[in-house]
Amino acid sequence: APMTLDTVFKWIKEAVEDPDAALSRDVIRKGVAELQRRVSKGEPVSEALFRSKHDLINKLKESGLADLAEEVDIAMRASQLAKGFARNVQQACLDGQTMESMDHYVKTVVRGCDRKGWMMRRVFIHHLSQVAARSLKAGDQDAADKAEQS
C-alpha cells in the first residue's frame, strides 16, 4: 500500500528538522511534490494533518524554503476548499450564495483561487461543473413537473 499522507507529511517534517542529513533536501522536495500530487487528485487531508500544517510551513520558511512552504500551504488550502464543496458547506458553494453574499464570495473564494494558482483553480472549476450539473438536473425536474401539470 502507498504511504499515507500523514507519513509523507511526517517525512517532510523530519527532513526539515535534520537539514544536515545527506538526502534531506531531496526528501523535502519529493515529499512536497507527492503531497501536491495526491491532494490535487482529491485525496482527503485529515483534520489533524491540516491543524499541524502551520508547524511544517514555519519550519520550511526557517530553513530558507519559502517556495516549498507556499506550495504546502496552497495544497492544504485546496484540500479544505474541496472538502467544503464536497460537504456542500454553504459559505464555500457557489449555489449556496444569495444576492447579498455573492460580492463577498467573489472577493474571498474566487479571488483566493485566482491568487493561489492552479491547484485552487482546478478545485473551483470542478465545483463549477458540479453546480452546473445540479442546475441542469433541477431544470429537467422543473420541466418534467410543468409537463405533468399541463
Percent of the chain with pLDDT over 90: 43
pLDDT score of 128 more than 70:
yes
pLDDT value for 144: 73
- The mean pLDDT value for 30-39 works out to 92
Write down the pLDDT at residue 1: 61
Q: Are 14 and 8 in contact (CB under 8 A)?
A: no
Do 53 and 136 touch, CB atoms closer than 8 A? Answer: no
Handedness of CA 9, 48, 72, 126 (dihedral sign): positive
Q: Is the pLDDT of residue 73 over 80?
A: yes
Per-residue model confidence (pLDDT) at position 119: 85
Whose CA is closest to 80, among 55, 116, 30?
116
Residue 137 has pLDDT above 80, yes or no: yes
- Per-residue pLDDT, averaged over 77-92, amounts to 89
Instruction: Tell me: pLDDT of 141 over 90.
Output: no
Overall residue count recorded for the chain in this entry: 150
pLDDT at 69 over 90: yes
Rounded to whole angstroms, what are the CA distances from 77 to 54, 71, 117, 132, 146? Answer: 12, 10, 11, 23, 42
User: Is the pTM of the predicted complex or chain greater than 0.85?
Assistant: no
Q: What mean pLDDT do residues 99-118 have?
A: 86
* H-assigned helices in the chain: 5-17, 24-40, 47-51, 53-62, 66-86, 99-105, 111-116, 118-149
pLDDT band at residue 60, thresholds of 50, 70 and 90? very high
Q: What is the pLDDT of residue 147?
A: 76
